[in-house]
Amino acid sequence: MALERFGVAMDSELLGAFDSLLDRQGYSNRSEAIRDLVRAELADDALARDDQAAFGVVIVMYDHHKPDLVNRLIDIQHDTSIDVVCSTHMHVDSDHCAEAIFVRGTAGEIRDLGAKLAGLKGVARGESVILTRPDQRA
């Protein structure tokens, strides 16, 4: 792949802050950092579309004493139309557990699954991390 050069102008204060960030993050040069920023923005733009192929992790923390909640979490995973690849369970404390559910589907389907699980009574917190492959951009 051929590289193309272009110039970027920015004020010295912003450039200094950017260089400090690059030092903290271990970048050896500005070009690679700018490429990573552009890749991240393209991926975010692609994931804004509900039909974008994606993979992700839906994480829920819940009160494991809540009657029938664990069964409802499992039933929703079994009934979803997307591919639940695997899940892992963690004991947070004497009252709470966390579940990380690895899935493949579209960005919209993953968001919907996350919202459905997070909305269950007894779920203290739910969050979805959705990614797309680097070659799948809008």
With a cut of 80, say whether residue 136 has pLDDT above it. no
Are 102 and 115 within 8 A, CB to CB?
Answer: no
Q: Structure tokens of 25?
A: 């993050």
Identify residue 136 by its one-letter amino acid code.
Answer: Q
Above pLDDT 70, what percent of the chain?
Answer: 96
Confidence of residue 76 (pLDDT cuts 50, 70, 90): very high
Residue-wise pLDDT for 15-69, tens only, equals 999 999 999 999 999 999 999 999 888 888 888 899 999 999 999 999 999 999 9
Name the CATH superfamily for 53-131: ACT-like. Chain A, domain 2 (3.30.70.1150)
Query: Whole-angstrom distance between the N-terminal and C-terminal Cα of the chain?
Result: 19
Give the pLDDT score at 115.
Answer: 97
Q: Domain-by-domain residue ranges, the chain?
A: 12-47, 53-131
Q: What are phi and psi of 117, to 5 degrees?
A: -70, -45
Query: How many CA atoms are closer than 13 Å to the CA of 117, on its beta-carbon side?
Result: 30
What pLDDT does 135 receive? Answer: 64
Which residues touch 70 (CB under 8 Å, ≥6 apart)?
62, 64
Cα 29 to chain center, whole Å? 27
**Could you read off the pLDDT of 107-122 as tens digits, one per residue?**
999 999 999 999 999 9
